[in-house]
A and B are shown apart, each in its own frame.
Chain A
Amino acid sequence: MRKPIIRLENVWKTYSLGEAKVNALQGLDLEIFPGEFVAVQGPSGSGKSTAVNMIGSLDYPSRGKVYLNGRDITSFSESDLAQLRGQTIGFVFQSFNLLPTLSAIDNVALPMMFQGVSRQKQLSTAREILVRVGLGHRLDNRPGQLSGGEQQRVAIARAMANNPEMILADEPTGNLDSSTGKAIIELLKEVNKEKKTIVMVTHDVKLSREADRTIYLKDGKAVKRL
């Protein structure tokens, strides 16, 4: 039996909005295995965003367990978790979330900087990945000088910078037109062929069909079908 990269076990997340308490997740169970391309699909209000936090170990659960590579994340301090997250998971977001003041190559180099990689290695790796995603000619352009599709390619390159086991993409095509979005999905599939696990969170039924399997979310829980 393969060991999951991420395992959520009866995860609850409760937010307090003044007096009221909102349960965004109500006992979510899921497992992501190495090499998979998984879609997490659900309508808005289904707890998708909170699920992204949990799958990406960006936050601690209120109740239940989150295991990152078999280890309970509550046993890590926030800083240790940040380090581990940086090595294990790369993130791709709907609104690209690149640093506007940095060039493409510096954006890709940034996660390596936070892992203490030497500047020389940062630059050579960043260049290599950017060439692979088809942006070899855009290395020194800042996000404002790139199209949406190009920015998302930089973001994918950045997600791959520390050679993580898994890439978590949260609505990666949400801000792109359909043909550009398709190209991004193709790129993610290519990355997946290189044995990288891809988790794509989306509300789009069509997109989720591109994945090997789909996890459906409803009312903060995984369900068989929507």
Chain B
Amino acid sequence: MIPDYFRLVLNQLRRRTLRASLTVLGIIIGIAAIIALLSISQGLKSSIEEQFQTFGVDRIIVSPKASQTSAPGTGATTLTTDDITTVEKVPDVSYAAAFLLEILRVEYSRQKISTYVTGLPFDLHKQLIKDYGLKFSEGNYLSSLSSREVIVGHRIATDTFDKSLHINNQLLINDVPFRVVGILESIGNPEDDSVIWISMDNLQEITGNKKSVSMIDVKLNKGSDPIQAAEKIKRRLQQAREDDESFDVLTADQLLSQFNLVLGIVQAVLIGIAFISLVVGAVGITTSMYAAVTERIAEIGIMKAIGATNNQVMSVFLLEAGLLGVFGGVVGVLLGFLAGKGVETIAHQAGFTILTVSLSPGTAIGGVAFAALVALSSGLVPAYQASRLNPVDAMRFG
């Protein structure tokens, strides 16, 4: 019985290729839009989480309160070298690394750019590079506290200057010559791949800024609770700074959840757009299913006259709607995923190689199921109405 219906419906669809493809097109567009947007935001989320995983959960970031400062390097930083000493004394802290970011002139083979240069503590920089999971593609660590040496990120070496940069090349930072001793492997996002690292002492010397710190990256002892440690650090800093609270203490988890909050908003907007396109698609499906049923009222009359029950007529039309929905859903999911992959390719060209567009099996199946559901429900009303017509009246229709 059921294979008979399949044969009948497939036959009908094959002979009405144009009508069927137009109906299916609406489904495809709606589903493709939603799948593309979902797979991009899923990819975005998992790549952010992946970065945090290498960064580690046992870390705490101390930074000037966001609302009270402008960009680092503009002199508005409120953390000082004294704060490092305070943080270091908190029992759970394994080490506290201070970073200073300054916008400086960087020159290589007569090409000048203005960019962030980061000063990091010489005695901790090996540890930090290891803890961040970074590897050198060329060269190695800084050799001493005061030697004029620089470590650069992947993009600085390959993409920033017309001529690519290698170890032992000379980089001028605010006209002071530095020797490139290490080039880092790509991380996958343009910001992290564009770092220029020199020792804190060198940066302080160049800028004359011996007091300020842009942020403190705190590594905790194994087994300590990040939330409690963050509380302790906050309290100590408040005491030492005499109740000044112009700083933030955030655990890696809190940072991640801040990221996720922003990402959530982005996702909500994306899904909102996808939903609208799906509604438009659903209206399209409904219209064309309605038309498809209406133009075949005469056929419905014939089927009923030759002995089809209302349920049999309904089954034929619902099976048709369902098949269109499943087919449109499958094609839509594939196209949507391809569109997502297209975005991924563009992102990779822009340096965001960490973005991997992914589509979970659940989302794919959900997409197909949703398409089938929309098609079925939009076919239901016209098919029901048609199946209840008097056969003779129906046959005279059209």
Give A contacts to B, CB under 8 Å: 49, 52-53, 56, 58-59, 78-79, 82-83, 85-87, 90-91, 93, 97-102, 106, 110-111, 113-116, 119, 122, 142, 158, 161-162
Contact = CB atoms under 8 A, between A and B. Distances in A.
A58 B4 contact: no
A52 B391 CA distance: 11
A82 B302 contact: no
A119 B391 CA distance: 25
B304 A82 contact: yes
Interface in B1-25: 1, 3-4, 8, 11-12, 14-16
B223 interface: no
B81 interface: no
B68 to A, nearest CB: 73
B319 to A, nearest CB: 13
B310 A82 contact: yes
Given A85-B307, A99-B299, A162-B307, 5 more contacts: A58-B392, A79-B309, A83-B307, A91-B305, A113-B1
B308 interface: yes
A58 B391 contact: yes
A218 B267 CA distance: 73
A101 B11 contact: yes
A58 B392 CA distance: 7
B309 A114 contact: yes
Q: How large is the interface on B (under 10, 10 to 19, 20 to 34, 35 or more residues)?
A: 20 to 34
B311 interface: yes
B302 A99 contact: yes
Contacts of A78: 309-310
Nearest to A116: B1
B3 A119 contact: yes
A162 B304 CA distance: 14
Interface of B: 1, 3-4, 8, 11-12, 14-16, 298-299, 301-312, 390-392, 395
Contacts of B306: 86, 90-91, 110-111, 114, 158, 161
B390 A82 contact: no
Given A56-B305, A87-B307, A113 B4 contact: yes
B307 A49 contact: no
A116 B4 CA distance: 9
A78 B301 CA distance: 14
B299 A82 contact: no
Contacts of A58: 304-305, 390-392
B394 to A, nearest CB: 10
B303 A114 contact: yes
A59 B392 contact: yes
Contacts of A161: 306
A53 B302 contact: no
Contacts of A119: 3-4
Contact of A79 (B298, B302, B311): B311
A82 B308 contact: yes
Contacts of A56: 305, 392
Contacts of B304: 58, 82
Contacts of B12: 101
A195 B335 CA distance: 61
Contacts of A87: 307
Given A83-B307, A97-B395, A53 B390 contact: yes
B307 A111 contact: yes
Contacts of A93: 305, 395
Nearest to A122: B4
A25 to B, nearest CB: 14
A78 B390 CA distance: 10
Nearest to A78: B310
Contacts of A85: 305, 307
Contacts of B299: 99
Contacts of A100: 15
Contacts of B302: 97-99
